[in-house]
Amino acid sequence: MAMISYVLKRILMVLVGYLVAVLVGLIAVVVIYALLSSLPNAPACFGLMEFTPVAVLVVPPLGMFVYFLTIILTAMQTLVFAKMAEFFSLRSSWLHMFFGAAAAAAGFMLIWPGAADDPARWADIGIIAGAGLVAGLLYWLIAGRDAGFRRPLIKAIPGKV
């Protein structure tokens, strides 16, 4: 019974970690675009991202659409990464950050298939991957630190067995 409750707890932690990480990743995209648009000689398209949060706040269904679209675009690869992390008890933060960046970039490639061939989209891929790094770190904080079934070793106290 304890094993079943532990597995259900891990599934819940993975789900909550993923949903929160997607939300924070979307916020990170906006923050990164806003910071980059303030740089001199920034592309004009970066400036458009300053108005996106306002549009999402004024029209909440648009925000929910963007959130659920992001979930749909990144769910499959994130599920694969989460299964690998849980099965092999992968608990390192940098690995979860890499998984987050890879899942975000792959999701961007799904919505914009020719992005890798278009040099004008390389900056967007980098920004999306950077937001995926942030999302992967947050996922690690919520669910990744205790991934898998391997328990940390308890150090034996000298003189006690």
Residue identified by tokens 């790094």 is 133
In whole angstroms, what is the distance from residue 143 CA to residue 53 CA? 28
The tens digit of pLDDT for each residue in 24-41 reads 999 898 888 888 888 888
**Structure tokens belonging to residue 80:** 């694969």
pLDDT at 70: 93
The pLDDT score that the predictor gives to residue 76 is 95
Structural domain spans, the chain:
2-144
- Give the C-alpha separation, 31 to 36, whole Å: 9
* Burial of residue 119 (number of CB atoms within 10 Å: 0-12, 13-18, 19+): exposed
What pLDDT, on the 0 to 100 scale, is given for residue 69?
Answer: 93
pLDDT at 160 (0 to 100): 59
Tokens of 102: 């890879």
- Give the Cα separation of 66 and 47 in Å (integer): 19
121, 127, 123: which is closest to 31 by C-alpha? Answer: 127
2-22 b/e (C-beta count within 10 Å ≥ 16 → b) = eeeeeeeebeebbeebbebbb
pTM of the model: 0.84
Which residues of the chain fall below pLDDT 50?
Answer: none
Find, among 62, 74, 71, 65, the residue nearest to 108 by Cα.
74
Residues 6+ apart with CB under 8 A from 45: none
Please tell me the predicted confidence (pLDDT) of residue 154. Answer: 57
